[in-house]
Amino acid sequence: MKKHNFSAGPCILSPYTIQNTAEGILDLNQSGLSVMEISHRSKDFMAIMDETQQLFKELLDIPSGYSVLFLGGGASLQFCMVPYNLLKTKAAYLDTGAWANKAVKEAKLFGEVDVVASSKDSTYSYIPKDYKVPADADYFHITTNNTIYGTEIKEDSDCAINLVADMSSDIFSRPLNVSKYAMIYGGAQKNLAPAGVTFVIVKDEILGKMDRAIPTMLDYRTHIDKGSMFNTPPCVSIYAAMHTLRWYKQLGGVEAMYKMNLEKAAVLYNEIDRNPVFMSGIENEEDRSIMNVTFVMTEEHKDKEADFLALATERGMSGLKGHRSVGGFRASIYNAMPISSVDALVDAMKAFEKSI
């Protein structure tokens, strides 16, 4: 039986992506070769790279003047590459969770870091709103979706200085106004492809302004100049990403994904709010993530967490346990998650309510 996969990352991919990637692994375009065993400079792979970049630009409506890169090292390497390339004296960061915190830690190696606001004092259960971004900072870094805690910044805000966003876990979940950002990056393993590739959308004009020497592989300009082919790119992950993006396009693009995501999130949050056994840990409704839905058991049922997990597991659900730093449950309902799986979870919550 196919499981209902609520894993936070790596996570569910569409059957379309898995099926088509599997075919290309066995035999790419009837070439008699696998996508795993051809040169990244071959005609077949160059076409894959080109189409993946094109689909990024088309689906996210990326204006001219931006480059789309596919790199290694995960979103975590971006925590260091961003300041390496952009931090001259000072950078501003919004601390909305563990990933944001890791980004802050790396930036401190390169200069002064102004953490403009943090929700750490309440286990990151809200998005701080009341803060000022210093005008003299080189850039302002945000994490739009806080995968571990289930909070999300759902709007593209205006920022007077370069805005840099880690969108690892909500890219392609909603329409974006890319022109408001100087850079957007993320690991692929949450809404795009298996782990191994990191996407970077960067405004070309912000680069090349540093005095420090930047190691070749860590300089965005190297990868722009070589079309993400300076060294061997993660070919299979990029191939899988291409199929995911084709699938998004067939379904109607990010607007259609957004509609489905809102619907799935509403079904689940409604049940969390209705069911007396469960509750959301997120302080403000507007901060609730539509990708990672976190919830806990109400005080009087706290001792029954393991029982609910057992029931959900019995019903074919996987990956529901909350992150160890938060506890409770986390249902990651990324783009590829069908509403039928969300319905199955809601049914399990109802059944559990009746059973106790």
Ligand X SMILES: *Cc1c(COP(=O)(O)O)cnc(C)c1O
Under rule CB under 6 A, residue 96 binds ligand X: no
Under rule CB under 6 A, residue 335 binds ligand X: no
Q: Which is nearer to ligand X, 99 or 124 (CB)?
A: 99
Under rule CB under 6 A, residue 123 binds ligand X: no
| Distance, CA of 150 to CA of 290 (rounded, Å) | 8
> Do the beta carbons of residue 317 and residue 348 sit within 8 Å?
yes
Out of 168, 173, 244, 294, the only residue in the binding site for ligand X (CB under 6 A) is 168
Q: Give the count of residues interacting with ligand X (CB under 6 A).
A: 11
Query: What ranges make up the beta strands (E) of the chain?
Result: 4-5, 66-71, 90-95, 112-118, 140-143, 145-146, 151-152, 163-166, 183-187, 198-203, 278-280, 292-297, 317-318, 329-332
Under rule CB under 6 A, residue 76 binds ligand X: yes
Under rule CB under 6 A, residue 244 binds ligand X: no
Q: At residue 148, what are phi and psi to the nearest 5 degrees? A: -80, -40
Under rule CB under 6 A, residue 227 binds ligand X: no
Which residue stretch of 83-91, 165-173, 233-241, 318-326 sits at the interface with ligand X (rule: CB under 6 A)? 165-173
Out of 28, 60, 68, 75, the only residue in the binding site for ligand X (CB under 6 A) is 75
Under rule CB under 6 A, residue 196 binds ligand X: no
Q: Render 165-214 in DSSP notation, one character per residue.
A: EE-TTTTTSS---GGG-SEEEEEGGGTTSSTT-EEEEEEGGGSS--SS--
**Positions marked catalytic:** 99, 166, 190
Q: Which is nearer to ligand X, 143 or 335 (CB)?
A: 143
CB of 10 to ligand X, least distance (A): 9
Residue 243: name the closest of 174, 335, 170 by CA.
Answer: 335
CB of 143 to ligand X, least distance (A): 5
Residues that bind ligand X (CB under 6 A): 9, 74-76, 99, 143, 147, 166, 168-169, 187
